[in-house]
Amino acid sequence: RTKVDEALTLDAHVKDGHLQRGLVLWRQADLAGAVAELELAKQADTASVRVATLLAAVKLDQGDLVGSE
């Protein structure tokens, strides 16, 4: 997580930075933090299937069946 945080501190628009941070937060069971980061990743790349899939998986983990669609 530290390396991703450092990269985003240096450049908040680093490619896939928010996606990677969201993935790390999800693995650390910080679901709310993961959703927030993945929403930022989604804003940066609205066509990314990877972001959409990961965001849906995290929302499913949260029990948000509607949001995971």
Q: pLDDT for 19-46, tens place per residue? A: 988 999 999 999 999 999 999 999 988 9
**Mean pLDDT computed over 47-52:** 93
Predicted pLDDT at 12: 64
Predicted pLDDT at 11: 65
Q: What pTM did the predictor assign?
A: 0.79
Using CA atoms, how far apart are residues 11 and 28, in angstroms rounded to an integer? Answer: 23
Nearest to 53 by CA among 69, 37, 33: 69
Q: Are 33 and 61 in contact (CB under 8 A)?
A: no
Predicted pLDDT at 44: 87
